[in-house]
Amino acid sequence: MADIRIGITGCGGRMGRMLAAEVHGAAGLRLAGGSEAPGSALLGRDVGELAGIGPLGIAVTADAAALVGAADVVIDFTAPAAAAEHARLCGQRSTALVLGTTGLDAAQSRAVEAAAKLVPIVWAPNMSPAVTLLQRLVAEAARRLGPEYDIEVLEMHHKHKVDAPSGTALALGRAVAEGRGIDLASHSERVRDGHTGPRKPGDIGFASLRGGDVVGDHSVIFAGEGERLEFTHRAGSRRLFALGAVRAARWVAGRKPGLYGMTDVLGLEG
């Protein structure tokens, strides 16, 4: 069977470089190319050299459409506007997509959903298998524990992260809201400052911390009278996200069009 051809958008970023290295070293996969935004200083550079694995004879391109056309699966960890455009291109070129970009607005999300009617897309704010399982665990805890337990989601990331709460924190919030049988948007407390008054019963609170080089820490806290239950995941390296994305790329190749998550990749549905 021929190798699965993998294209990496944003190949010059921290995740992109790590993804290129993981794809190159993975059996049954072949790096089809990498792209960067027009005007990037990295255009024309060798993707392998950027990834620290030596020259591969593959130059970084600004032509995302050509990259999508040359790949069986594209892996995207870029920016919201770019990700939505890449999803559109994948839909046009019948190329599967693994999307790890967070912070998409409603219109950008609709663009991804529209593309998923044409091609298979794995869209997950966090590609870690452990975080995927964590979502299941906190949903079950929310289902089992009564409304007398207040739920807070705490996340911390490096100082360069531009969106808050993190995509993973929001995914965890959606999981506990589903467990409670409530709508997250109408039961979400994002900001507390000044004289806020008592906590509103039933709300799911979010707190975001930024600093240093923290890869990603997430905790979901169930605070009751006289006790507290905490679920925590700490990422020590971005490599775990790259490994999860590569696993998703293997899984999504050849699937039917649709919008999938890491629960599908790990076989946790049902």
Count other C-beta atoms under 10 Å from residue 141's C-beta. Answer: 18
Cβ within 8 Å of residue 196, ≥6 positions away: none
CB 178 within 8 A of CB 113: no
Crossing angle, helix 129-144 and helix 167-180, to 10 degrees? 30
Across the beta sheet with 4-9, what order do the strands follow? Answer: 29-35, 4-9, 73-76, 96-99, 120-123, 258-260
Q: Establish whether 157 is a catalytic residue.
A: yes
Q: Which residues of 116-128 are buried (b: 16+ CB within 10 A; e: fewer)?
A: bebbbbbbbbbbb
Separation CA 163–CA 151 (nearest Å): 21
Q: What is the full DSSP assignment across 110-128?
A: HHHHHHTTTSEEEE-S---
Tell me whether residue 218 is one of the annotated catalytic residues. Answer: no
Number of alpha carbons in the 13 Å side-chain half-sphere of residue 141: 23
Of 24, 157, 218, 233, which is the active-site residue? Answer: 157
CA distance 107 to 132: 25
Return the active site residues: 157, 161
